[in-house]
Each structure stands twice: as C-alpha cells, then as structure tokens.
Amino acid sequence: MTVGGATVEFEKIRKTYGDFVAVDDFTLTTEPGEFVTLLGPSGSGKTTVLNMLAGFTDATAGDIRVNGQSVLSVPTEKRNVGMVFQHYSLFPHMSVLDNVAFPLRMRSVARAEARDRALKALAMVQLESTADRMPDQLSGGQKQRVAFARGVVFEPPVLLMD
C-alpha cells in the first residue's frame, strides 16, 4: 500500500462473513508519504483490508480514517482512493487511453483535459504509444502499467496496490 498525501488510520477493524473472521482487531496508522507493505499468507486478510479502505467492502466493526475523518459512511466513489487491482481490472471494450481517463470522466473532468492528463500518465509509465490499443493487445507487464497509470491519473492522496 502506498500512502501519498494522507494519514490513514485503521482502528480495531474487523470483518466477518457469517461465522468466518477475515480480519480481526486490525490497527495501523500510516503517515503522509509512507510506503507500507502488508505481508502475510494467502487468506490472511490483506486484500480485505485494502478493499475496506477503498470502500468495496464494509467493515463489520472498527473505524477507518483518512486525514482524521472516518470514511466508513463515505461512498466508494467519493473516497478519492486510487486502486491498482491484483488482476488489473481493465475494461476490455475501452482503449488504453480511455481506461486511464476513466477515473477523470467519473469526476466530470472536461474531455480534453482528461485526455491530456491520461496521456501524461501513460508517458509516466512509458506507454503513450499504446494509447489507441485495446487491453487484449498488451502484454501482462503493459497491462499492469496501464492499471498503475489509471490509479494515479487523478492524483489521489492514497494509492492502494493489491
């Protein structure tokens, strides 16, 4: 997990699925600019913790705060958290450029500005020449870099990488 310009606090977070406890009493504070890695065996709750911060999964108990404000009742799309998914989750029907510009379009950024910012993000990962390609025309490493560009294009204060 990379934390850019935000303090992130997990306080006694718990996540259960019926009787199964996926995360129990997880507490962690990260400061702005820190790069934090969650290590553990498969099934230990690492992805669940990231998904709770991003808003894709609800916590059963505890609190998650970004810059001192609880995000538990904040809708996913309003949390301003970038996420690079384990399996990239690129839209197969959209070009590379449209995939990278997607978070900007969801934030109502003007089309021309979204295109410029997406092209800059692609240049940052040295993939501007692939802008018109479709995801199935990319290598695995290229897909990963496109997913990263999409995760940072809107300059989120928190970037999660699963």
Between CA 130 and CA 109 the distance in angstroms is 22
- Per-residue pLDDT, 82: 87
To which residue do tokens 């399996």 refer?
Answer: 87
Shared-domain flag, residues 65 and 17: yes
Query: Does residue 53 fall inside a structural domain?
Result: yes
Between CA 64 and CA 28 the distance in angstroms is 10
| Chain segment 72-113, per-residue pLDDT in tens | 999 988 888 888 887 788 999 999 999 999 999 989 999 999
Domain residue limits at 149: 96-155
- Per-residue pLDDT, 1: 35
pTM for the full model?
Answer: 0.80
Shared-domain flag, residues 73 and 7: yes
| The total number of structural domains that make up the chain | 2
DSSP code of residue 35: B
